Each structure stands twice: as C-alpha cells, then as structure tokens.
C-alpha cells in the first residue's frame, strides 16, 4: 500500500503538472479547440493574441483605423512614402556621413539626388506616354496581319468549329429578334448640343496638379526632417516605452531598423537594376519607348508574383504591333522570362539573405487591402509596408499578432502540428510529419522532439477530460503504429546480426501509470542497440508488488521506469523504494520525459528513493543505460528479503 505523501512530495507533484492556463503549460496551451470547452479555449486564445482586449474594443479600433486610412490618404500617403524612403536612404546617408562632410550636408546631397532622379524619370515617362498615345493607331496594320496568321493556324481545328457553332447560334437569335424590331415605328431622335464654355477650365486642371505638388513637397520635407531628427525620434520612442526595458527596446529598435532598411534598400536596388536591364534590352531589340517600359517594370516589381508579368505583358503586346513577323515579339517575351528567372533564382537569394519574410497568402491579402484603401499607390507600397509591419510585430508586444498572422516563419512547433493532426484523426498527414522530420533531422531525434511531446499533450488533455474515447483510442493506436513502422526500418540491418550475437543486457521496462508510458518505453526500445540490449516492456497498470516479482522472475539486471509527464512522480518514487528494498544491486533508471517543473528537487527525491539515474529525454536515458552497461556489476544480484528466492539478472559485457 502506497504510503501517505509528504508535503514536499505534493509540492513536487504540483510542479510537474503546470496549472491550467499558465505560461508553463506550453505543451498544451491553446491547442485543443475540439473539446467540450472548445469555445472557452477559442475565446482565451483570441484574447491572448490580441493583447487581452475585449472583442468589441478591438473591432471598433480596427474599423476606426481603416476609416482613418481611407479618408486620410491625402496626408497618410506622403507620410508612408516618406517613412519608407527614410529607411531606404538612411544607409546611404550614414555612408556619406563617414566621409566627414557632416550629417546635414549628407542628407541634403542624398535627398536632392534622389528626388532629382525621380523627377527626371517622371518627366521622361510622361513625355513618352503622350507620344505613345498618338502613335498607337499606326500599329494596327501589323496587329491585323498577326490576327490573320493566327486564323490560318487555327483553320480546321476544334477552336474554329466551336467558333462556327457560336456564330450560328448568334445568327439564329438575331433572326428571331429582327421581326419584332421591324414592327416598331420610327423613333424620334433628339440631339442635344452641349454648350462649350468660353473659359479654360483652370480649376479643374490646376486642382489635382496643386494637390500632387503639395504631396511631393510634403514628402520631401518629411524625408529631410526624419533623417535629421532620426536620433531624437528614437529617443522619444524609448522614453515612451519606458526606461525599465531600455536594453530590450534598444536592441529591438536597432535590429528592426536595420532589417527594414536592408530589405527596402536591397529590393530597391534589385528592382532598379531589373528596370534598367529591361530598358536596355528593349532598346537593343528596337522596341519604341524603352525607358517607359523599364520604369514600368521597376515599379511593378514591387508587386510580388503578378507585378513582373503585368509589366511584361504591355511591351510584349506592343511588340506585336511594332514589329513585322513573329521573331522579335518572341525575343521580347524571352528576354522578360530570362530576366525574371535570373532575378528570382540568383539575385534575390543572394542579396536578401535572412531578411524578414511574409507568407504568400498574407502578402496577397495585404496587397488587396492597401489597393482598396489607397488605389494604385497602395498597390505599389503594399509589400514594403507589410514587411515593415511584420518586422515591428516581432519586437513590439502590442503588434505581435501581426507577425503571427503574416510572417512566413512557422508559428506552431512540429510536435504541436503532429498532435493536432492526431486529434483530427488525420492518419496520413501525421505520418508524413514524422517521415519528413526523420528525413531532415534523423530518426533518433524524432521521438524526443515530436512524439514524446505529443504524448505529453495527450496526457494533459486526458486529465482535463478534453479527449473523447474515440480520439484517445486513435491517438494511442496510431502512435504505436508509427513507432512500430520506425522500428521496422531498422529490422533488416539488425536481424542478421541478432541471430549471431545474443543481447548482453536485459532491461525491464515498467510504465509508471498507463499505456502512454508503455508507448514511450517502446520508443526507448527503438533507440537501444538490439544486439546489446533486450528490453521487456510490461503492460500498463501493474501494481508495485507485481513489478518487483517480475523483476526477480525474469532475472533483470536493470529496470527502466517511464513516467511521462505530467504526473506520476509519487508512484515512481514509491516503486523505486520497493525495488531498492528488494534488490540492493539492481540498477534503476527513471525517465521523467517531458518534465516541465523544477527538475533538481524531483531528481533528488527519486535518487534518495533508490534510483541510480534520472533522465528527462529518451536520448539522455539511453546514455544512462549505456554508462551502466559498462560497469562490472558482478555475476548476479541477490534479493535482500523476499518470500521466495529469485535469481537476479546479469549484465554481461
């Protein structure tokens, strides 16, 4: 009969099982949304993501922010553009300032050259757009000829047959409607002549022009001011956050600023180089208005995935009308394909490096959002703005949910995803997760990193009544199957050796509580060398007296007690005492796998109860067993006091 627990043991038991809802409960926190308390867990997870704000306050804040962005775009667009340009120009200003010409002169030179280049390109592009509009009718002859060529190619094909069928149906419909139209009498046509104004519409033209000039002027002033007062803005932000976290805040600001500046600068360099290459290539091919198409390619490359191909489609279509025949239009398309592959496969990985990333789905949603809010300007600025928000979300606690939702970095651990797939009873994907991890990390780490944490989650949910009987049975069954499959992969290499070499160390595997501990012992069996170790795993639910009796009957030299966490510490301590009292020379190894509390107090309690070693992982436990196998333990062990005399096991080296 188990002795009454002391106060110290109860505290250790509480430490090994973290309180529900605490930060220490990381293995199972917020993962089970399929239980009877799923609604409460979902609300708790939602509150944790959004800073514990009430849902109505968060939604109201979101609606207010979207409204301000939409109606305040006349002011916010120049501010956002200035902020992005400040991040791009900061490294250039710092490099020029190192030449000892002063900060203000460096800012003036960089800003003047930047806006001069942008203004020159804008003027040249606007001139070419005006000229192109007047020359478009001259390209109709080549386009008509290519349409005729396509018709000759498609003659007699299935497309032509479909086209004929559509034309016949349309003709029949027109013939049915024509008699009804002839019965109608002649209609009176009234022509109204709009009186033209005798005055030139000055307000209509000068209004948008003045608005654009004001936006450009505001952007220039903001860029200069932000570059000059950059240190002052940083100090004010640190003061706003508080001096108590000055070390963390300083590191976060420096790292975030460096990441954003590097990303935007590298993207600007790549896109500018891409635009120059497009312009030069189209000029050499003889396509008119090469500067316009190069500028369009550079700007549209800020829109990922679809931007480069949109920029390539317009000059490719123009090439059909500008060139006779098909050779040169095909050369134009081939040039775009070559430049895009070169940029994506070589330049971007080489220059971007480990810069901040955004998931594809989140980026496309962000592009749609900013385009809806700010129109074409938002389409171009969407990617830089999203990258800035994701980087800031990694360092600002209030914006952490942005990084969680939009970053391309994996948020959930592999063991959490594996357990979630088991909860969903998805056998195939759960097995795929294990197989991929084995391929990338090796078979030895998969138990400690993936499967043991999943069993920890299952035990935690079982104690909270969060698993249905069907889910529990599926999890245990599939975990056993995966362990057996991993073991069968090594059978071919071990079988031939095992026939010749007899295992020299016999181990009794004892589950501390239930079948979850038993499955963990099967994992340990896969990690042990079958040519040197033979482990006999007992069934779950055995009494301490039965474990002691079986250890003597089977002449075991070593007992491994698996106490998968949380819980089981008290029974493990009691079992160690019984085994040590019965067999003085028996080696006892305890596996507290997945332990979340304070390890040292628990280790001391188990060692004082008779355990030789305590391991917190399967690999550590295997190392303890290997070290014990190297000891000269003598020919046998004798029970100190037993009703029936039982011969002990032997560790033959």
pLDDT for 502-555, tens place per residue?
557 888 899 988 888 889 999 998 888 888 888 888 888 888 888 888 888 877
Q: At 280, is the pLDDT very low, low, confident or very high (cuts 50, 70, 90)?
A: very high
207 pLDDT band, cuts 50/70/90, is low
Q: Do the Cβ atoms of 222 and 81 come closer than 8 Å?
A: no
* Residue pair 528/496 in contact by the 8 Å Cβ criterion: no
Record the tokens describing residue 599, joined without a space: 């390890």
120 — pLDDT class (breaks 50, 70, 90): confident
Least confident of 1-15, 244-258, 353-367, 396-410: 1-15
Q: Is the pLDDT of residue 320 over 70?
A: yes
Highest mean pLDDT among 65-69, 196-200, 388-392, 496-500: 65-69
pLDDT recorded at residue 54: 65
pLDDT at 184 over 60: no
Quickly state the pLDDT bin for 560 (edges 50, 70, 90): very high
How far apart (Å, rounded) are the C-alpha atoms in residues 117 and 107?
15
Query: How confident is residue 170, by pLDDT bands cut at 50, 70 and 90?
Result: low
Picking from 14-18, 101-105, 106-110, 561-565, which range would have the lowest pLDDT averaged per residue?
14-18
DSSP string, 362-404: HHHHHHHHHHHHHTHHHHHHHHHHHHHHHHHHTT-GGGHHHHH
| Overall residue count recorded for the chain in this entry | 653
Measured CA to CA, the distance from residue 531 to residue 505 in angstroms comes to 9
Model pLDDT, residue 10: 46
Q: Find out whether 538 and 550 touch, Cβ atoms under 8 Å.
A: yes
User: What is the per-residue pLDDT for 139?
Assistant: 67
Residue 386 has pLDDT above 80, yes or no: yes
Q: Does residue 313 or residue 404 have the better pLDDT?
A: 313
Q: Is the pLDDT of residue 176 over 70?
A: no
Which two three-digit tokens encode residue 121? 């390109």
The mean pLDDT of 154-167, rounded to a whole number, is: 60
- Residue with tokens 């239930």, as numbered in its chain: 514
Find the mean pLDDT for residues 424-452.
87
The pLDDT score that the predictor gives to residue 637 is: 38
**3-class SS string, 420-438:** HHHHCCCHHHHHHHHHHHH
Q: Is pLDDT above 80 for 618?
A: yes
Task: Flag the least confident range among 229-243, 489-503, 549-563, 588-602.
Answer: 489-503
For position 24, what pLDDT does the model report?
Answer: 38
Give the per-residue pLDDT at 589. Answer: 92
Helix, strand, coil percentages for the chain (3-state, nearest 5): 70, 5, 25
Query: How many helices, marked H, and strands, marked E, lie in the chain?
Result: 28, 5
Does residue 186 surpass a pLDDT of 60? no
Instruction: Classify the C-alpha dihedral 427-432-435-441 as positive or negative.
Output: negative
Quote the percentage of the chain above a pLDDT of 90: 3
Give the highest mean pLDDT range of 30-44, 173-187, 285-299, 340-354: 285-299
Asked whether residue 225 carries a pLDDT value surpassing 60, the answer given is yes
pLDDT tens for 252-272 read 677 777 777 777 888 888 888
pLDDT in tens, 54-107: 667 877 888 888 898 888 888 888 888 888 888 888 888 888 888 888 888 888
Element (H, E) at 177: helix 158-183
pLDDT confidence of residue 356: 52
Higher-scoring residue by pLDDT: 304, 616:
616
Highest mean pLDDT among 411-415, 440-444, 614-618, 648-652: 614-618
The DSSP letter of residue 306 is: T
- Round to whole Å and give the CA distance between 336 and 282: 10
Residue 352: band (very low, low, confident or very high) from pLDDT cuts 50, 70, 90: low
Phi-psi region of 567 (alpha: psi -120 to 50; beta: other; left: phi over 0): left
pLDDT category of residue 226 using cuts at 50, 70 and 90? confident
> According to the model, what pLDDT value does residue 649 have?
34
């Amino acid at each position: 009969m188990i002795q009454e627990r002391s106060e110290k043991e109860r505290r250790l038991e509480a430490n090994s099982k973290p309180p529900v809802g605490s930060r220490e409960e990381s293995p199972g926190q917020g993962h089970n949304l399929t239980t009877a308390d799923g609604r409460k867990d979902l609300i708790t997870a939602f509150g944790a993501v959004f800073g514990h704000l009430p849902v109505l306050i968060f939604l109201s804040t979101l609606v207010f922010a979207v409204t301000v962005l939409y109606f305040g775009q006349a002011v916010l667009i120049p501010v956002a553009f200035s902020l992005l340009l400040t991040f791009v120009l900061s490294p250039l200003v710092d490099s020029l300032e190192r030449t000892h010409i002063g900060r203000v002169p460096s800012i003036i030179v960089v800003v003047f050259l930047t806006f001069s280049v942008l203004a020159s390109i804008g003027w040249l592009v606007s001139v070419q757009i005006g000229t192109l509009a007047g020359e478009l009718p001259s390209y109709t002859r080549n386009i008509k000829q290519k349409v005729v060529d396509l018709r000759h190619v498609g003659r007699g094909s299935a497309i032509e047959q479909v086209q004929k069928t559509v034309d016949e149906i349309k003709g029949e419909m027109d013939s049915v409607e024509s008699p009804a139209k002839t019965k109608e009498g002649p209609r009176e046509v009234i022509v109204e002549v709009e009186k033209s104004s005798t005055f030139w519409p000055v307000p209509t033209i000068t209004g948008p022009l003045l608005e654009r000039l004001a936006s450009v002027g505001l952007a220039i002033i903001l860029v200069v001011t932000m570059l000059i007062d950059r240190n002052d803005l940083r100090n004010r932000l640190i003061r706003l956050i508080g001096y108590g976290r000055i070390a963390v805040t300083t590191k976060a600001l420096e790292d975030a600023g460096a990441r954003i500046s590097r990303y935007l600068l590298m993207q600007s360099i790549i896109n500018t180089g891409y635009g120059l290459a497009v312009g030069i290539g189209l000029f050499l091919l003889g396509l008119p208005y090469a500067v316009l198409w190069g500028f369009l390619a550079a700007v549209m490359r800020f829109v990922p995935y679809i931007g480069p191909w949109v920029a390539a489609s317009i000059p490719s279509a123009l090439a059909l009308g500008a060139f006779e025949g098909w050779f040169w239009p095909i050369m134009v398309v081939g040039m775009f394909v070559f430049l895009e592959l070169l940029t994506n496969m070589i330049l971007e990985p080489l220059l971007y490096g480990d810069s901040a990333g955004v998931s594809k789905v989140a980026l496309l949603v962000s592009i749609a959002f900013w385009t809806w809010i700010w129109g074409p300007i938002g389409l171009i600025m969407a990617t830089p703005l999203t990258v800035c928000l994701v980087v800031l979300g990694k360092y600002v606690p209030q914006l952490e949910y942005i990084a969680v939702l939009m970053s391309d970095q994996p948020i959930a651990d592999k063991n959490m995803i594996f357990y979630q797939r088991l909860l969903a009873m998805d056998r195939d994907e759960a097995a795929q997760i294990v197989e991929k991890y084995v391929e990338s990390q090796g078979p030895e780490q998969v138990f400690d990193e993936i499967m043991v944490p999943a069993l920890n989650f299952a035990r935690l949910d079982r104690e909270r009544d969060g698993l249905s009987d069907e889910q529990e049975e599926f999890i245990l069954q599939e975990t056993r199957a995966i362990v057996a499959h991993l073991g069968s992969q090594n059978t071919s290499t071990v079988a031939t050796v095992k026939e010749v070499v007899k295992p020299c160390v016999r181990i009794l595997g004892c589950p501390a509580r239930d079948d979850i501990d038993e499955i963990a012992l099967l994992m340990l069996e896969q990690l042990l060398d079958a040519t040197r170790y033979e482990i006999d795993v007992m069934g779950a639910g055995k009494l301490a007296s039965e474990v002691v009796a079986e250890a003597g009957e089977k002449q075991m030299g070593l007992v491994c007690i698996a106490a998968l966490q949380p819980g089981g510490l008290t029974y493990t301590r009691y079992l160690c005492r019984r085994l040590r009292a019965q067999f003085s020379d028996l080696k006892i190894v305890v596996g507290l796998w997945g332990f979340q509390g304070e390890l040292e107090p628990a280790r001391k309690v188990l060692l004082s109860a008779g355990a030789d070693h305590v391991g917190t992982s399967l690999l550590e436990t295997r190392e303890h067993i290997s070290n014990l196998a190297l000891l000269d333990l003598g020919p046998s062990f004798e029970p100190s006091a037993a009703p029936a005399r039982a011969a002990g096991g032997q560790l033959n080296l």
